Amino acid sequence: MELDLNNVPKHVAIILDGNGRWAKAHHKPRSLGHLHGAFNLRDLAKYADSINIGYMTVYCFSTENWKRPEKEVDYLMKMPPRYFEKFWTDIVVNTNIKYKTIGRKDRIPKKLLTTLEKVEEETKNHTGLVLTLCIDYGSYDEITTAVKNIALSYKNDEITLDDINPKLITDNLYTKGYPKLDLLIRTSGEYRISNFLLWQIAYSEFYFTDTYFPDFKPEKFKEALIEYQNRNRRYGGL
C-alpha cells in the first residue's frame, strides 16, 4: 500500500525508546545508542516535514528518567547542546522546522535550557513541521500544573466553576494550541505510555513496533503512517 500524501496525520507523537538496548545489541555503550537515536530523530523530522506532517512531539527525557545513573543523565543533558552546535546549519538554518520544548524548565542544566531557548527563538518564524522535544516532561506534572493554574484563576475571580471544561484544561497544558494527537508511536517493543500525554491521547491511534528507535528509519515510520491511514476512527460514533 502507498502512503496517501493528502491524508497525513496533523500531529504524531513518538515515545522514542530502545536506544540502550540498540547499543547493547551492538556491544556498544548506552551513550552511543542515544547518539544514534538523535541522528535518527533528525532524519525522521526531515521526512515528516517533507510530507507536511504539522506536528511531531517526541518524548526525549521523562520526569522519571532522573532516576538513571548520574553518568547517563549527564550525557543526555549535554547531548542537545553538542548536537545543535554540530548540526546547526543542517537542522536549524537549512530546514523550515520549528523547534519547541515542553516540560519542566526548573531542573535541567542552564546550558541545555539556553540552547533550547536559542533554537526556539531562531526557528520561531519557520513554517514547516513543529518539532516538540519533551524534556523533563511528565503528564502528571503537566496536568498538575494545569490544575494549579486553573485553581489560581478561580481564586482570583477570573473564571467561574462553569468555565472549567475540557477546552480550558486543554488550553492549560504545555501543548496549548496544538492540533489533536492523531497517532502515538512507541518503539522498542514496550506496550505502555510511561506518563506521556495522558490527556492528549484520548482518541489517538496507537502504533507499537519492536524496532529500537535508532533503527526506526523514515521507511519504517512511513509504514506506521500507512497503517494509520487504514484505521477506522469512530470517536464513539458508528
Closest CA to 32 of 190, 214, 216, 212: 214
Q: At a CB cut-off of 8 Å and minimum separation 6, what does 153 contact?
A: 159
- Report, in Å, the least distance between residue 200 CB and ligand IPE: 15
**DSSP label at residue 181:** P
Q: How many CA atoms lie within 13 A of 208 on its CB side?
A: 7
Residue 209, helix vs strand vs coil: coil
Q: Within 14-73, which residues bind Mg ion (CB under 5 A)?
A: 17
Element (H, E) at 184: strand 183-186
Per annotation, catalytic residue among 6, 65, 74, 141: 65
- H or E segment to which residue 12 belongs: strand 11-15
What whole-number distance in Å separates Cα of residue 14 and Cα of residue 9?
A: 13
Shortest distance (Å) from residue 66 CB to Mg ion: 14
One residue of 21, 104, 118, 126 binding ligand IPE per CB under 6 A: 21
> Smallest gap, in angstroms, from Cβ of residue 17 to Mg ion?
4
Q: Which stretch binds ligand IPE (CB under 6 A): 140-148, 152-160, 189-197, 227-235?
A: 189-197
Least Å distance, CB 18 to Mg ion, is 6
Among 9, 11, 12, 19, binds ligand IPE (CB under 6 A): 19
140 and 63 Cβ atoms separated by less than 8 Å = yes
Site for ligand IPE in 56-75 (CB under 6 A): 59-62, 65
- Residue showing the smallest CB distance to ligand IPE in the complex: 20
Closer residue to Mg ion in complex, CB, 17/136: 17
Q: Which is nearer to ligand IPE, 17 or 49 (CB)?
A: 17
Choose between 82 and 126: whose C-beta lies nearer to ligand IPE: 82
Contact criterion met (CB below 8 Å) for 201 and 34: no
- 194: contact with ligand IPE by CB under 6 A: yes
CA distance 181 to 204: 6
Radius of gyration of the chain (CA): 18
Task: Report the interface residues with Mg ion, using CB under 5 A.
Answer: 17
Task: Report the interface residues with ligand IPE, using CB under 6 A.
Answer: 15-21, 59-62, 65, 76, 188, 190, 192, 194
Active site residues: 17, 65
